[in-house]
Chain A
């Protein structure tokens, strides 16, 4: 269906169900219970899941397929955010023109940077993209202040023109981003017994766009173009010797992934209409690399998983403090309780980056294919156990999800 094989369609279906039911799935614990702090089902976090999912899907089209490791992808996200906010300032608060402009501007930006950077490969390519991103960051932070708002970031103001929309709401406030009158921040709540589920308009807009981009990514992965990109990853030299010019393909992949980043940036600005230069800093670029690797580079679902995991950790683990830890270990004898708290404490709260770093290193060392590979190994193990008694084990060579 939709031009997909059965496996791919099932994958898309799974993603769609997960994403659409996320408000339920991410809120498994009743309100007010001790475990409610692990609930990730609030709009802000859910929006981040899908937006960074889009970002990582796009990054994966470049890194996962061609093997070109870009360390400057956050620049496109930042440019997308800035363009979207400018659209809100000048045109109207409707998110469609904002997102469209974000994608287009990021695409053009990626075309320019890609054209230059892709003349080199390997570590040189990484350094070039890093240099370009750092340059954009430095410029946005200093000289381009009239366009980017400098240190304070780009914000909406009451006296912005907004030629097509309303300038000021009846209450005298700045209008909020909306989709033809449907406000992004409005949400419906459903209380089922002690559970409280929030359905946010902005989240569902992001979720639909994310499903569309996921579908597009599947099509790209399965297309002849995707095959060509994989060929570049496995042996670019041989490809060149066969008389094929690989540069247009890598450039196209770079621009597409830049446009995905711009889309993510535009959505980010649509959910919260401000943009700052720190979105372009190289650590932000590093984050998307972490997400993609953690989930599994080169797989379809990996980057989405990685993005979800990192954002969940960032928001939930960093909220745990020592009081909560004491609550968890209260059943231990007093001395042991303090000891356990002291052992776990460095890894939670402000120390969540440490946990992230350790998990990331472990994944790179032991599971180069990321979480997806981990899941597959686990599945194979279970299958082998089952089949070992019945029939001799055969290699299950399923295509990577």
Chain B
């Protein structure tokens, strides 16, 4: 029992990342009908927003510390972040420590702007072209973005720690009456899961509770009619593209403490996220979220030692296997709608 709970929890954080990326992909697909292969790159750019902010916060100048000496006997030069000068050491330290959560505020406008520019500058010209062209141009864009990031940040993963308050693990088992240390779960992964739930909740609330969201949903159902009613649906869809980019970016920001960001992290997630979208059903938002968590949990179950012993290699292929089975038995995916993406 404890093993099962542990695996479910282990699956949740990866599942959250899948769900967030897949949610953005589906948003773009459902509104604009574009297959965005650069979505993984957006995830990566979000992660590097966090890296950038933590570098900006620790931007420092050299100060000579007279009280200490280095190994040659000269006065020691110490790097002092500008933040210490502005806010004092205590506040400065807190700010630096909380750089990853702070990056959310930093990354959100950047990602929105990035998404809007990308849609207006590039994707807009591809609505009338075949899906293959959309895949190809966004694939090319993903390569370019990836290489630009590699040029500025190097090829090595950049460790970006979580705030000290969230380092360590949470003894989840004690809460449920198991022995101590039976089910432990890192705090940050819990934070990530809660964050994902909140973001997903916000997106759904935005779509279902606001007038703007209602119009967007109407546009997803029948773009032409909404346009005929005199509503500028293109502008709203552009904003939705920005929102989808922001969702992917925030997923990337919060993922940095779990996995040190490197320039190809987006591509690694992209392939799986596409599988998630297809399993969930093209164009179905709740399907994408459901499939994201489902596949994340399935993957962590398949990584259990007993399971690997029974079916060797299953942990490597489970997601693809599930995708193949689902696509062949339920061609529209778990919650796919009729008429979406059916040539």
Which A residues are closer than 8 A to B by beta carbons? 67, 69, 116, 119-124, 126-128, 130-132, 134-135, 138-139, 141-144, 236-237, 282-283, 286, 289, 293, 346, 351, 353-354, 356-358, 360-361, 364-365, 368
Which of chain B's residues have a CB closer than 8 A to the CB of A116?
324, 328
Q: Is the CB of A132 within 8 A of B136?
A: no
Q: Is the CB of B143 within 8 A of A132?
A: no
Most chain A Cβ neighbours within 10 Å, of B275, B321, B327: B327
- Name B311's closest neighbour in chain A (CB-CB): A143
Q: Is the CB of A127 within 8 A of B313?
A: no
- Name A356's closest neighbour in chain B (CB-CB): B143
Shortest CB distance B202–A (Å): 28
Which of chain A's residues have a CB closer than 8 A to the CB of B143?
353-354, 356-357, 360
Q: Mark B146-180, 1 if CB is under 8 A from A, else 0.
A: 11101100000000000000000000000000000
Q: Is B182 an interface residue (CB 8 A)?
A: no
A117 to B151, CA, bound (A): 38
Q: Is the CB of B140 within 8 A of A360?
A: yes
Of residues 192 to 245 in B, which have CB atoms within 8 Å of A's CB atoms?
none
Q: Is B297 an interface residue (CB 8 A)?
A: no
- From B73-81, B125-133, B253-261, the one touching the partner chain is B125-133
Q: Is the CB of B137 within 8 A of A131?
A: no
A354 to B140, CA, bound (A): 9
Q: Is the CB of B324 within 8 A of A132?
A: yes
A122 to B122, CA, bound (A): 22
A62 to B140, CA, bound (A): 21
Q: Is the CB of B125 within 8 A of A365?
A: yes
Q: Is the CB of B317 within 8 A of A139?
A: yes
Set A124, A289, A354: member contacting B148, Cβ < 8 A: A354
Most chain B Cβ neighbours within 10 Å, of A119, A141, A357: A357
Which of chain B's residues have a CB closer than 8 A to the CB of A139?
313, 316-317
Q: Is the CB of A123 within 8 A of B341?
A: yes
Which B residues are closer than 8 A to A by beta carbons? 35, 122, 125, 129-133, 135-137, 139-141, 143-144, 146-148, 150-151, 267, 271, 274-275, 278, 282, 312-313, 316-317, 320-321, 323-324, 327-328, 331, 341, 343
Shortest CB distance B293–A (Å): 19
Q: Given A123-B282, A127-B274, A127-B275, do A364 and B136 touch, yes or no (CB 8 Å)?
A: yes
Q: Is the CB of A67 within 8 A of B151?
A: no
Q: Is the CB of A286 within 8 A of B139?
A: yes
Q: Given A122-B343, A357-B143, A361-B144, do A134 and B137 touch, yes or no (CB 8 Å)?
A: no
Shortest CB distance B208–A (Å): 27
Given contacts A119-B328, A142-B313, A357-B146, 7 further A-B contacts (CB under 8 A): A116-B328, A123-B131, A360-B140, A360-B143, A364-B136, A365-B122, A368-B133
Set B35, B125, B324: member contacting A123, Cβ < 8 A: B35
Which of chain B's residues have a CB closer than 8 A to the CB of A138?
313, 316-317, 320
Q: Given A354-B147, A364-B140, do A143 and B312 touch, yes or no (CB 8 Å)?
A: yes
Set A69, A122, A135, A358: member contacting B320, Cβ < 8 A: A135
Shortest CB distance B288–A (Å): 14
A239 to B316, CA, bound (A): 39
Q: Is the CB of B317 within 8 A of A127?
A: no
A347 to B238, CA, bound (A): 31
Which of chain B's residues have a CB closer than 8 A to the CB of A123?
35, 131, 135, 278, 282, 341
Which of chain A's residues have a CB closer than 8 A to the CB of B141?
357, 361
Q: Is the CB of B131 within 8 A of A351?
A: no
Which of chain A's residues have a CB closer than 8 A to the CB of B327?
120, 124, 127-128
Which of chain A's residues have a CB closer than 8 A to the CB of B139?
286, 289
* Nearest 3 CB-CB pairings of A with B: A143-B313, A357-B143, A138-B316
Q: Is the CB of B341 within 8 A of A353?
A: no
Shortest CB distance A212–B (Å): 29
Q: Is the CB of A351 within 8 A of B147?
A: yes
Shortest CB distance A42–B (Å): 27
